[in-house]
């Protein structure tokens, strides 16, 4: 019996632990050969010495279950190391079919306290890391498409966050990077569609090393029950988006956690005002906009209202 990803090869970044590990195992379970990437630094802020052990352990776990896996210990935010990662997949498996961008770090701080290095490091790993791997993977697919004279098979699954959708007061660097990833996703989806490549992003909610303090004490499972915030609730969606079944899904953002998938619409115009004159004046804007915003609860932003709707399942 064939599996959905039989004959396909995949890269999963940040796959040594948590969400990335679950995603790598899921893709392998569905038949893909997987390159497991992880820089292996022990601190969730990206601190400490890098180690090959986390990536090697997950690759060995896949091989022990009968799958095929290679390990890559490298920093995807480094342009050259990202190129080497894609080259490893191509040399090891003949081609690359699937790229799952998951690697990230946290350096939380309020905006007025955040240092330049705290901003730069998070944007570098999340946003530049996504760009680097996407750049080399897309060049690979473009060349294959030219050689084939038509579309080839390619899938990219990026990792954004609800911090982008709703804001996160102590994570301006993380929220900005995750918002940038959505922009990268939609732009790349348009650029690569003609080559047969789809590009989508997920906003996962999962209890991992990265979120251990955020979800501490929240929705703890009863004995013997699956944690509603387990990464295993997220990884099947990644497997689906990586599969031939998702050929029509492109440029989409999906929130996923605890047995729920929500498709996020692109921003829509909620109200429109036209000037009665040739151009708006301050007084006219005051007359139309101030009453409009006065009906909102004080302090409620669009993002806060939207995330509340998602949490309620509306």
**Token duo for residue 1:** 């019996």
CA distance 50 to 38: 9
Answer yes or no: 174 catalytic: yes
List the alpha helices (DSSP H) in the chain. Answer: 18-29, 53-64, 79-93, 116-123, 129-148, 162-166, 172-192, 235-241, 282-294, 302-312
Under DSSP, the state recorded for 274 is -
Query: Dihedral (C-alpha) 168, 300, 287, 270: value to the nearest 10 degrees?
Result: 80
**Token duo for residue 67:** 């799958």
Please identify which of the residues 39, 153, 174, 195 carries the catalytic annotation: 174
CA distance 132 to 190: 18
Among 72, 85, 67, 63, CA closest to 31: 67
| CA 179-184-187 angle, 5° bins | 125
Please identify which of the residues 145, 178, 195, 230 carries the catalytic annotation: 178
Q: Are 18 and 7 in contact (CB under 8 A)?
A: no
> What are 20's strand-pairing partners?
none
Secondary structure in 3-state letters for 91-111? HHHCCCCEEECCCCCCCCCCC
Among 288, 292, 238, 290, CA closest to 261: 238
| CA 231-233-234 angle, 5° bins | 70
Residue with tokens 């944690």: 227
Strands (E), the chain: 9-12, 33-37, 69-72, 98-100, 154-159, 197-204, 253-257, 260-264
Please identify which of the residues 161, 230, 235, 243 carries the catalytic annotation: 161
Answer yes or no: 240 catalytic: no
**Residues with catalytic roles:** 161, 174, 178
């Amino acid at each position: 019996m064939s599996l959905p990803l039989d004959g396909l090869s995949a890269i999963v970044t940040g796959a040594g632990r948590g969400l990335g590990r679950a995603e790598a195992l899921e893709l392998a379970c569905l038949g893909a050969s997987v390159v497991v990437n992880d820089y292996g630094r022990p601190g969730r802020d990206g601190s400490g010495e890098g180690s090959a052990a986390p990536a090697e352990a997950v690759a060995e776990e896949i091989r022990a279950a009968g799958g095929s896996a290679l390990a890559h210990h490298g920093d995807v935010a480094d342009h050259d190391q990202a190129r080497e990662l894609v080259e490893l997949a191509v040399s090891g498996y003949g081609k690359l079919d699937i790229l799952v961008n998951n690697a990230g770090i946290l350096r939380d701080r309020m905006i007025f306290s955040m240092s330049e290095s705290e901003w730069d490091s998070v944007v570098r790993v999340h946003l530049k890391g996504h760009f680097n791997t996407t750049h080399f993977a897309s060049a690979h697919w473009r060349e294959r498409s030219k050689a084939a004279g038509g579309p080839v098979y390619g899938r990219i699954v990026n990792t954004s966050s609800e911090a982008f959708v709703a804001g996160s007061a102590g994570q301006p660097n993380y929220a900005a990077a995750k918002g940038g990833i959505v922009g990268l996703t939609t732009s790349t989806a348009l650029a690569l569609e003609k080559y047969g490549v789809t590009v989508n992003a997920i906003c996962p909610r999962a209890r991992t090393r990265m979120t251990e303090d955020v979800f501490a004490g929240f929705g703890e499972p009863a004995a013997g029950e699956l944690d509603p915030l387990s990464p295993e609730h997220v990884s099947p969606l990644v497997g689906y988006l990586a599969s031939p079944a998702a050929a029509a899904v492109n440029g989409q953002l999906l929130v996923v956690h605890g047995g729920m998938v929500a498709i996020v619409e692109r921003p829509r115009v909620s109200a429109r005002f036209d000037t009665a004159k040739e151009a708006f004046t301050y007084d006219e804007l005051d007359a139309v906009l101030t009453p409009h915003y006065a009906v909102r609860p004080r302090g409620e932003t669009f993002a806060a209202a939207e995330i509340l709707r998602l949490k309620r399942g509306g």
